[in-house]
Chains A and B, each alone.
Chain A
Amino acid sequence: MRQKTHSLIISFPTTADAMAMEQIAKLYQIDGKLIPVPHFMSTGCGMAWKGLPDDQEKTIQLLKDKRVEWEEVECLEY
């Protein structure tokens, strides 16, 4: 089994928001990628963002600035 890492997971209400997250990450050089939304996130579109916990504040601020909606934010082993 591949080892889990401490990760920032963010879910989104629509795939359009998830795609906006991907573009923002590329533009602002935030490490991470889109993953299938984990089962413990009850809401959200089929995609979630998996990034580094240290980037949580920066990421959420960028989402606010760019008016991208998100639903749940978790930092955990995943």
Chain B
Amino acid sequence: MIYLDNAATSFLKPPSVARAVYDSFGQVGNAARGINQMSLAAERIVYGTRQIVAEMFQSSPKQVAFSSGSTESLNLLIQGFVDPQDHVITTVMEHNSVLRPLYRIGCDIDYIGLMPDGTLDKANRDQLIKHNTTCLIITHAANLTGVINDLSDWGEWCERHGIEFFVDASQSAGVLPIRMADMKISALAFTGHKGLFGSQGTGGLIVKQGLDIRPLKVGGSGIATFDKEHPGQMPTRLEAGTLNIHGLAGLKAGLEFILATGIDRIHAKELQLRTRFLEGLDDLPVILYGVGPPSVGIVALNVEGEDSALIGGYLSDEGILIRTGGHCAPLHHEAFGTVEQGMLRFSFSYFNTEQEIDKAIGALRNIII
């Protein structure tokens, strides 16, 4: 079996991750619930993870709130910030975890469209700004094609127009450098189970100091028991209920692996595999989407006239595991004209090998030639 669906969830992780999760079961109680040694052991894992997240994304530990993943983080952010009377700018690259919260709020939305090469069309972006525009919500790397958006450029644009800058780092955290302060990012949503090598059910929202996000959930906090209101200070403000300590123990190990290995090295390995894959496609009759611009380790393609699900099923029969269909990115497919056909998405990890890439190409060749 060759796993090339790392944009959905990373399958191969550093061994230290599973070990940390397993070990935590014998070590921790509930965090922030007192000072018995088991509770403190849990809190040390939580705080240690906050510190590493803050180091990786150029923030501070208290501004890191943990969640179950990107979808929860984006809901926390969007439903906690955007009002129905607001105007929001986002892009056609976005995942449903951005789009659906916006649809639910019913705010006014404008979308940055696509250029033929798969990058965002910035030409007329200034004209989208309205008197009630409050924020831009943008993915760092497109979930469908892997195309990277230049956060420094978008951050400066947001600052120039006086709007908040919200980033979905689901496909880039752990793979691309993200410096929140330098890039003028107001809030960053990330998941733990993809490029950060943690387990599913982990993630977080990092909020710049002073930005007020209304909590979506209130309740248990372990502190201020007799107040009727949930505590207002970050990170407790956005963390009602018991945290996934065991998951965070694994996430911490994943983050430590990334910092020790180097984000640049991880991205370079993914790009090396992607290049090899693209070279292998050279003489195959496939349609490629957005492969020219800078990208993370993703290649999206189709076989002309064929349902992506059919080809994906054949690949699965050959032991090549990828993702087909819509990828929760409806507007991105509309922009490419692939709503009916879907796409085949191959997504590579630091732990994949060149031999695996060659076998995947061989399997694809056998299916379509």
Q: Bound complex: CA of A45 vs CA of B5, how far in Å?
A: 42
Closest B residue to A68 using CB positions? B62
- Whether B35 and A20, one on each chain, are in contact in the complex, defined by CB atoms closer than 8 angstroms, is no
CB within 8 Å for A13 and B61 given contacts A34-B40, A47-B35: no
**Which interface class (under 10, 10 to 19, 20 to 34, 35 or more) fits A?**
10 to 19
9-residue interface stretch from B26-34, B114-122, B196-204:
B26-34
The 9 closest A-B CB pairs, nearest first, are A19-B47, A45-B223, A15-B32, A16-B62, A34-B35, A13-B233, A14-B233, A46-B223, A46-B222
Q: Bound complex: CA of A76 vs CA of B42, how far in Å?
A: 30
- Whether A20 and B40, one on each chain, are in contact in the complex, defined by CB atoms closer than 8 angstroms, is no
**Which interface class (under 10, 10 to 19, 20 to 34, 35 or more) fits B?**
20 to 34
Binding site for A on B (CB under 8 A): 31-35, 40, 43-44, 46-47, 50, 60-62, 222-224, 231, 233-236
Q: Bound complex: CA of A17 vs CA of B50, how far in Å?
A: 12
List the A side residues contacting B31 at CB < 8 Å. Answer: 15
- Does A32 sit at the interface, judged by CB under 8 A? no
B43: contacting residue among A19, A36, A44, CB under 8 A = A19
List the A side residues contacting B34 at CB < 8 Å. Answer: 36, 46-47
A45: contacting residue among B46, B47, B222, B234, CB under 8 A = B222
List the B side residues contacting A46 at CB < 8 Å. Answer: 32-35, 222-223
**In the complex, how many angstroms separate the beta carbon of A9 from the nearest chain B beta carbon?**
13
The CB with the most chain A CB atoms within 10 A, among B34, B35, B61, is that of B35
Closest A residue to B61 using CB positions? A16
- B-facing residues in A19-49 (Cβ within 8 Å): 19-20, 22-23, 34-36, 43-47
List the A side residues contacting B35 at CB < 8 Å. Answer: 34-36, 46-47
A20: contacting residue among B61, B223, B224, B236, CB under 8 A = B61
List the B side residues contacting A36 at CB < 8 Å. Answer: 34-35
List the A side residues contacting B222 at CB < 8 Å. Answer: 15, 45-46
**In the complex, how many angstroms separate the beta carbon of B330 from the nearest chain A beta carbon?**
38
What are 25 A-B pairs with beta-carbon distances under 8 A? A14-B62, A14-B233, A14-B234, A14-B236, A15-B32, A15-B47, A15-B222, A15-B236, A16-B62, A16-B235, A18-B43, A19-B43, A19-B44, A19-B46, A23-B47, A34-B35, A36-B34, A43-B224, A45-B222, A45-B223, A46-B32, A46-B33, A47-B34, A47-B35, A67-B60
